[in-house]
């Protein structure tokens, strides 16, 4: 069988286009619910240490840790069993830089909120901060995950050609 260079180039371009389309339509690189679950854990810890009686710590802290452990195990299972995972060489490093910036931003934002709430004498400042930051994470994490996937798909489309 004889394949001309033009046929090979056309076939290779079709393969690259199919890969790029698959990456663009793939689910996000990580489940966004996980980030909200971590903030929910933080909120729960703030609540039980700030609002509830001390004897509740013996019940609530192990329950919260068990919940976080289940979330981590589910997260690992979901990521490992994802139908389509891009190869690490294709993942845009700026996507991970954005993820780190998001983590630092939400952590710093939470600390600033708690500090401000404490300064203005709001009742239960850490718990209120946790509730607000859990909502922020729940709203922004899906956009973050999609943005990271979009950057990776764009990078994969430009590096293969």
Contact 32, 145 (CB under 8 A): yes
Contact 134, 40 (CB under 8 A): yes
Output the six-digit token pair for 150: 């979009």
Rounded-to-integer distance, Cα 158 and Cα 161, Å: 6
Confidence of residue 161 (pLDDT cuts 50, 70, 90): very low
pTM (two decimals): 0.76
For the stretch 102-137, pLDDT in tens is 999 999 999 999 999 999 999 999 999 999 999 999
CA dist 154 → 23, 61, 89 (Å): 9, 43, 13
């Amino acid at each position: 069988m004889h394949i001309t260079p033009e046929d090979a180039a056309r076939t290779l371009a079709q393969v690259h286009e199919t890969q790029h389309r698959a990456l663009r339509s793939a689910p996000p690189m990580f489940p966004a619910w996980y980030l909200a679950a971590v903030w929910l854990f933080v909120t729960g810890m703030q609540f039980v240490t700030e609002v509830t009686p001390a004897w509740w710590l013996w019940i609530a802290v192990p329950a919260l840790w068990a919940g976080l452990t289940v979330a981590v195990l589910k997260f690992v299972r979901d990521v490992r069993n994802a139908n389509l995972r891009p190869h690490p060489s294709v993942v845009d490093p700026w996507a991970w830089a954005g993820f780190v910036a998001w983590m630092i931003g939400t952590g710093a934002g939470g600390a600033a909120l708690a500090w401000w709430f404490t300064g203005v004498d709001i009742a239960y400042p850490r718990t209120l901060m946790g509730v607000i930051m859990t909502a922020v994470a729940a709203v922004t994490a899906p956009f973050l995950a999609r943005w990271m996937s979009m950057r990776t798909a764009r990078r994969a489309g430009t590096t293969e050609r």
